[in-house]
Chain A
Amino acid sequence: MSSFSNLHTISFHKASFCEKKLLPGLTFNWSSRLIENKSSSLVCSVVSQDTYHVGLKIHHPTTRSNVVTLIDQTEEALCSTGKFGRFGGIFVPETLVNCLNMLVDEFNAVLHDPEFQAELAIALRDYVGRETPLYFAQRLTDHYKNSKGEGPEIYLKREDLNHGGAHKINNAIAQAMLAKRMGRKNVVAATGAGQHGVATAAACAKLGLNCTIVMGNVDMERQSSNVLLMKHLGAKVKSVEGTFKDATSEAIRDWVEDLDKSYYLAGTAVGPHPCPNMVREFQSVIGKETRKQAMEKWGSKPDVLVACVGGGSNALGIFHEFVRDEDVRLIGVEAAGIGIDSGKHSATLAKGDVGVYHGAMSYLLQDDEGQIIGPHSIGVGLEYPGVSPELSFLKDIGRAEFYTVTDEEALDAYALLSRLEGIFPALEAAHALAYLGKLCQTLPNGTKVVVNCSGRGDKDAETVFMYQQQQMVRRLVTLNGIGK
């Protein structure tokens, strides 16, 4: 194991599976895994074969509340049911079931495969550029101090520094490696803001796989720079009418047509099991690093974690590591668009109802007849009417809190971070940053807040430019009006 001592950035410690019959006539082998001491740099695991029982020995603080117990039980049940409490599941046509079962097997296999893990660790380190820093934002911290000079300390987890410019690549490179291992030649993925498209195209180029990215025509216009990047990386970009939700539906349709040779690369923690689980596992490197870095920097855990929520991949990526640490507050920020009551938003957890979409049960923006409501947000990556089933679960049990931020607040946060720290955040991440405006005044002095800066905002410069032009015009008009 000593050769892995530098590779602590990937330790898939939270996989628990059990041997059980999922569907009549279908059995598959799953093995359980005992994990110890996940905060150390070495992951020691003991693999044991257990039928129908899972023994999970987890090193945790002595008092275990109901919430944590519930989380543990849910994690155990996840393997056999694909559900997080009542959310998640495998709501797919029969044609897809076999494929998904194979995926589950393969995913389970790589979690126990030291060679795969070593190769992934090297890719994350040398190709993606991990570890990403945990950056103390001094000027932002000062900005939020009250008149007495008190306030929380704000740290940014710099996922914007990854290759491709967002957290998406953590998952894309791992799944592309998985696809290659499974002998698939063609990868298909759907993208909204384009970051997942770029990440997938890059990973496929690196691994020599064919790549098709499906993108809504509306999104292609709004995030055109990313479209160019995908084309340069050798991907075929397929346009569909609409936005990300429509692209997702089309990508799944594409995948079903050629299940043997195609691999559907999910970009966020939605879809039928095992997609949400896989994406969360591969993104959990964010939280693992954060724990280690927080310990190095201030000798303890963060107090509050803040992340934007579209599908939920970056939020789960940073939350997952701390889900059992009840002294760590988990805050997700969704898009309120034009306003939470305007009907033009993407605040699924705030305003949605439970339903089934893209293969999983979760909160969903739907009308009284159960039709999907078209969402809106200036942060294109947040514009999704559904949300991760796991986040729905965490909301229901009260483990995580969810709030919303409007387009304008996000655009202002973009400008603020640029001016104070010289960092352009993606408009999606800007939602998380905007929430600091409400959060900081409620926090005791010295609280350690970590915001997941999930992507860089170069792709949004034009949008912000136009917004600022409009603001200028509006100001001039108002001034003239007063003049009269």
Chain B
Amino acid sequence: MALSSSSSAASSTACRTQTYLPLHLRSHSLLPFKLNRVTPFCPSNSRCPPIVCAVTKMAATAVEKELETAARPDSFGRFGKFGGKYVPETLMYALTELEAAFNALASDHEFQKELDGILRDYVGRETPLYFAERLTEHYKNPDGKGPHIYLKREDLNHTGAHKINNAVAQALLAKRLGKKRIIAETGAGQHGVATATVCARFGLQCVIYMGAQDMQRQELNVFRMRLLGAEVRPVHSGTATLKDATSEAIRDWVTNALEKWGGKPDVLVACVGGGSNAMGLFHEFVDDKEVRLIGIEAAGFGLDSGKHAATLTKGEVGVLHGAMSYLLQDEDGQIVEPHSISAGLDYPGVGPEHSFLKDIGRAEYYSITDEEALEAFKRLSRLEGIIPALETSHALAYLEKLCPTLPDGTKLVLNCSGRGDKDVQTAINHLKL
């Protein structure tokens, strides 16, 4: 519905007929997110044609075959050969209980209603799909051609990142299971704060484990967690371990996309640390092979420097934190200490589903250095007045390489996974403002 002059969507696309099944018949998420009814976008000067449902085609390529054969994950919790449950026997019961509860939610209307209400009134969803006019202009070539860049504004969520979507749903699940105590680990503190936030909201006891060194460096985040009523326990062993829980699908933005330009996006771009925000963005479109999925990891000081966190580019398959996936390991199978300027991408592993998508060639993964990310941080701040998280900045930085290769008018959606207030000090030191 953008009426600004640079959006050519209104004139060129008119009314697109839907070439896929309506949402309620074709859902990939197990969670029954309730969304507003979708109506096709029709500019006021043309008549609205009816919706056309096309029959899905038979699998023509290997990728489609892979994606169609099994449920993802399968009953063993695998995505192809990745994933699984590599845990001691003591944890199996808890995981089975969790799995059963999670599956039961699919048909639980009460849960759906409660979660919807919380996402709307507490978290502040739906988040907008924002047409970044000046960023789009910036990437136009001398002929004035280039992709249309949209930002999915997860930075506007309560607590400032996409993390809360997951935290809220899991806290609600925990309450359903009658649990009174929530445990989480945190690196820089963002996930800890998100967890402590929902525990306060739901009146659950909260214990956050944090590396002792991190507790010193992130004193303010520790304070925030305590103010929220959480107990923060120092961990003296190991390094800053960042644990991302199962990702949540961010489905409402499909509605946004249909409203805005009457079709699907062409390219999706997201940063990849553990993989939650990327999976959240990709999940709905994994089976739509016309939609390109691009994940961006942290190249730190450079891929050859040995100081990076580009797991999918430089890692090998192994088991970490209970799942088989790509991970950064040395020849002895020891975990390599990763590095990235952004704490959220500083993880030696990656979600098993990403490993699977990379292996079958469904998604593409590239990497961006600290320097490039900082430039992108500055660029979005200056061009759109949005300060992105340094993690998000990695995805934004990739636009430099990507945009010149895209045809004019390509619809690109980038997941603006968090706001950068937390990173201003780091950035100032590097950018010397």
Residues of A whose CB lies within 8 Å of any CB of B are 2-3, 6, 115, 118-119, 122, 125-127, 129, 132-136, 139, 158, 160-163, 165, 201-206, 208, 225, 228-229, 231-234, 415, 418-424, 458, 461-462, 464-465
Tell me the complex Cα distance, A12–B196, Å. Answer: 40
A208 to B133: give the CA distance in the assembly, Å. 11
B424 touches A3 (CB 8 A): no
Q: Are B1 and A6 in contact (CB under 8 A)?
A: yes
B side interface size, CB within 8 A: 50
Top 10 A-B residue pairs of the complex, sorted by shortest distance between their CB atoms: A202-B385, A205-B385, A422-B200, A422-B197, A228-B424, A129-B156, A161-B124, A126-B128, A206-B385, A133-B121
* Contact call A129/B128, Cβ cutoff below 8 A: yes
In the complex the two chains form, what is the Cα distance from A158 to B156 in whole Å?
12
B229 touches A233 (CB 8 A): no
Q: Which residues of B contact A (CB under 8 A)?
A: 1-4, 44, 120-122, 124, 127-131, 134, 153, 155-158, 160, 196-201, 203, 220, 223-224, 227-229, 377-378, 381-387, 420-421, 424-425, 427-428, 433
A234 close to B4 (CB less than 8 A): no
In the bound complex, do residue B421 and residue A458 qualify as a contact, i.e. CB atoms below 8 Å apart? yes
CB-CB nearest in chain A for B156: A129
B122 is contacted by which of A122, A133, A415, A462 (Cβ under 8 Å)?
Answer: A133
- Note all chain B residues with C-beta closer than 8 A to A161: 124, 156-158
Q: How far is the CB of A179 from chain B (nearest CB, A)?
A: 14
Q: Which of A3, A133, A135, A205 is close to B44, meaning CB atoms less than 8 Å apart? A: A3
Contact residue among B131, B160, B381 (Cβ-Cβ distance under 8 Å from A126): B131
- B124's partner among A119, A133, A419 (CB-CB below 8 A) is A133
The reply to whether B385 and A233 contact each other, CB–CB distance below 8 Å, is: yes
**CB-CB under 8 A for A206 and B134, given A3-B44, A229-B421:** yes
Among the listed B203, B378, B385, which residue makes an inter-chain contact with A203, where contact means beta carbons less than 8 Å apart?
A: B385
A232 touches B378 (CB 8 A): yes
Quick check: B124 and A129 within 8 Å, CB to CB?
yes
The answer to whether A423 and B158 touch (CB under 8 A), given A208-B134, A232-B378, A465-B220, is yes
CB–CB A126/B120 < 8 A: no
Q: A6-B1, A135-B122, A461-B220 known; A419 and B227 CB under 8 Å?
A: yes
A464 to B420 alpha-carbon distance, docked (Å): 22
Query: Are B3 and A122 closer than 8 Å at their CB atoms?
Result: yes
User: B158's closest neighbor in chain A, by CB?
Assistant: A161
Q: Which residues of B contact A420 (CB under 8 A)?
A: 200
Q: Which of B131, B201, B227, B381 contacts A205 (CB 8 A)?
A: B381
Let me know if A163 and B433 touch, CB within 8 A: no
Known: A122-B1, A133-B122, A233-B387. 19 other contacts (CB 8 A): A122-B3, A126-B130, A129-B124, A135-B122, A136-B121, A158-B121, A163-B156, A201-B385, A205-B384, A206-B385, A229-B421, A232-B424, A415-B227, A422-B199, A422-B200, A422-B201, A422-B228, A458-B160, A462-B220
B427 contacts A133, C-beta separation under 8 Å: no
Bound complex: CA A165 to CA B156 (Å):
9
Whether B220 contacts A115 by the Cβ 8 Å rule is no
Identify 8 residue pairs between A and B in the complex whose beta-carbon atoms are under 8 Å apart, listed by A's number.
Answer: A115-B3, A135-B121, A160-B158, A203-B385, A205-B383, A206-B384, A232-B428, A423-B197
Q: How far is the CA of A423 from the CA of B127 in the complex (A)?
A: 18
**Which residues from chain A contact B128 at a C-beta distance below 8 Å?**
125-127, 129
Chain B residues whose C-beta falls within 8 Å of the C-beta of A206 in the assembled complex: 134, 383-386
A133 to B123, CA, bound (A): 9
In the complex, which residues of chain A have a beta carbon less than 8 angstroms from the beta carbon of B420?
A: 232
- How far apart are the CA atoms of A134 and B223 in the complex, in Å? 28
| Cα–Cα distance between A232 and B155 once the two chains are bound (Å) | 16
A232 B124 Cβ-Cβ under 8 A: no
A163 to chain B minimum Cβ distance, whole angstroms, is 6
Task: State the Cβ distance, B240 to closest chain A Cβ, in Å.
Answer: 21
